[in-house]
């Protein structure tokens, strides 16, 4: 958008910005294996779901909103709404409570969810409602359920969805408990970081269901075998999300990165291992293991949920390197 942007009709400007975002997502290769998602991103207007958002500034956050009386500020809001970047959408007492995820990462996760026509999907973390709208565009309203703990978030998401023309089921509740009254689900996708895999999800899934969730700065993709068993590996993609909130969330122990050997402090893959094994493996021991095993990438790690325990592992679920999840 150039200098003439202020003279352009807002809807035309939004269409241009959305088309630019779609091209940027396409260049990232996010939906190479399932280009049907391109149509969803072309049609669903992100700016409807972020009527305002916050930009970090010295000492706090600055609110940017679409009803600002200054036309230049409105233009800035619209351009930001279609940037391929995460947006802070709800801040409480200086703490980020909810956000709209980076669109190219959303596209990657939706592709990796591997939905099929007719699949019922549960989304953990309603956020602005944008991701639920993309799912509803692909699958239809009746097959999409989204849940969030905060009634203000779910009410706003429901409102945004209605304005955009979508009406999936929006539930206020603890996402770690799932939504049993809407089960069974063929897919569960979380848009908030977990510390473990909630066991309540498995009985709400049909055999062969897929769970995709952020955990320890990565994305774990699990296949559900039955109501008590699931297993899968991490994707290569790094991911950072707002933590899951709710009564059933376990608090992770501190990673104690201050004790990490100096030469490893900035290495993303090592920090992933420390986060994955927090509380069960000393960072110095983790560094020795990481070096000894050839600085393993995320895809070499996985998670198994069994009848009595859940654990993370390197290379083999029954191998020598395994760590309990909370």
What secondary structure does DSSP assign to 251-296, as a single string?
A: PPPP--GGGS-GGGTT-HHHHHHHHHTTTTS-HHHHHHHHHHTTS-
Question: Measured between alpha carbons, how far is residue 141 from residues 46, 208, 251, 277 in Å?
Answer: 18, 23, 34, 39
Among residues 199, 271, 239, which one has the least CA distance to residue 108? 239
Catalytic: which of 20, 28, 33, 98? 98
Distance from the first to the final alpha carbon of the chain: 48
- Main-chain phi, psi angles of 137, to 5 degrees: -60, -40
* CB contact at 8 A, 182 and 194: no
Cβ neighbours of 87 (radius 10 Å): 24
How far, in Å, CA of 276 to CA of 255, rounded?
Answer: 9
Per the listing, tokens 């956000």 go with 99
250 is an active site residue: no
Q: Which helix (H) or strand (E) holds 43?
A: helix 36-43
Q: Which residues fall within 8 angstroms of residue 170, CB to CB, at 6 or more apart?
A: 126, 129, 132, 145, 146, 147, 148, 154, 157, 158, 161
Query: Which are the catalytic amino acids?
Result: 98
């Amino acid at each position: 958008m150039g200098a003439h942007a202020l003279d352009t009709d807002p809807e035309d400007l939004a269409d241009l910005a959305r088309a630019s975002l779609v091209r940027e997502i396409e260049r990232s290769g996010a939906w190479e294996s399932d280009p049907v998602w391109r149509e969803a991103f072309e049609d669903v207007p992100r700016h409807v779901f972020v009527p305002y958002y916050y930009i970090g500034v010295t000492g706090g956050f600055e609110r940017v909103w679409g009803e600002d009386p200054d036309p230049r500020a409105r233009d800035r809001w619209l351009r930001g709404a279609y940037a391929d970047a995460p947006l802070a959408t709800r801040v409480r007492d200086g703490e980020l409570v909810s956000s709209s995820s980076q669109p190219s990462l959303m596209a990657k996760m939706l592709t990796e969810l591997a939905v099929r026509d007719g699949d019922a999907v549960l989304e953990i973390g309603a956020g602005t409602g944008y991701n639920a709208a993309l799912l509803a565009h692909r699958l239809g309203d009746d097959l999409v359920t989204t849940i969030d703990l905060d009634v203000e978030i779910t009410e706003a998401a429901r409102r945004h969805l209605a304005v955009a023309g979508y009406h999936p089921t929006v539930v206020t509740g603890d996402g770690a408990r799932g939504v049993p009254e809407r089960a069974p689900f063929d897919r569960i996708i979380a848009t908030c970081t977990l510390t473990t895999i909630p066991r309540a999800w498995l009985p709400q899934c049909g055999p062969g269901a897929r769970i995709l969730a952020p955990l320890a700065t990565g994305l774990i993709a699990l296949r559900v075998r039955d109501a008590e068993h699931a297993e899968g590996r991490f994707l290569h993609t790094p991911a950072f999300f707002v933590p899951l909130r709710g009564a059933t969330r376990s608090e992770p122990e501190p990673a104690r990165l201050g004790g990490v050997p100096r030469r490893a402090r900035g290495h993303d893959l090592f920090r992933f291992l420390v986060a994955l094994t927090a509380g069960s493996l000393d960072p110095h021991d983790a560094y020795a293991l990481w070096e000894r095993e050839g600085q393993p990438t995320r895809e070499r790690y996985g998670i198994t949920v069994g009848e009595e325990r859940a654990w993370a592992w390197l290379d083999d679920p029954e191998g020598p390197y395994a760590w309990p999840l909370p």
